[in-house]
Amino acid sequence: MDDTSEKFKLNEGEKPYKIAHRCFYFSNEVILFVKGCKYERIHHSLFDQLIRSATSIGANVVEGKSGSSKKDWKNFYVIALKSANETKYWLCLIKETLEVDRNKIEE
């Protein structure tokens, strides 16, 4: 069994040009952002939804690349785009309603 995480590792100084790499590193950054935030229990669902939508982008891109047809591939990319839009929504809501590092969100 091959180690899937090896597919996403980059050499030092190498930039993530492939969409799957970019999605993986974006998901990782979102998870690290949420991990570093201090928030009350009432806001837990906001951060949960943020992680779900952000990680869904890459999952759908990777699954789409394994699709059985061009239509299948396109459908997964459309779902990934919808997840990206949802992620932007959650980030904007968090930025406007909670005390978080706004600069980190804007990166």
Q: Tens of pLDDT along 73-89?
A: 999 999 999 999 999 99
Residue 31 in any domain: the answer is no
Residue 80 in any domain: the answer is yes
Residue 5 in any domain: the answer is no
Residues 6 or more apart whose Cβ sits within 8 Å of residue 24: 8, 16, 58
Q: How confident is the model at residue 61 (pLDDT cuts 50, 70, 90)?
A: very high
Residue 46 in any domain: the answer is yes
Q: How far is CA 50 from the centre of its chain?
A: 8
Residue 101 in any domain: the answer is yes
Whole domain around residue 74: which residue ranges? 39-107
Query: If you average pLDDT over residues 51-79, what whole number do you get?
Result: 93
The whole-model pTM stands at 0.79
Report pLDDT for 51. Answer: 97
Number of domains in the chain: 1
- Any idea what the CATH number is for the domain that residue 102 is in? 1.20.1440.60
Does the pLDDT of residue 37 top 90, yes or no? Answer: no
Residue 3 in any domain: the answer is no
Query: If you average pLDDT over residues 92-96, what whole number do you get?
Result: 88
Does the pLDDT of residue 1 top 70, yes or no? Answer: no
Distance (Å, whole) CA 51 – CA 84: 11
Report pLDDT for 5. Answer: 62
Query: If you average pLDDT over residues 33-56, what whole number do you get?
Result: 91
Residue 12 in any domain: the answer is no
Residue 65 in any domain: the answer is yes
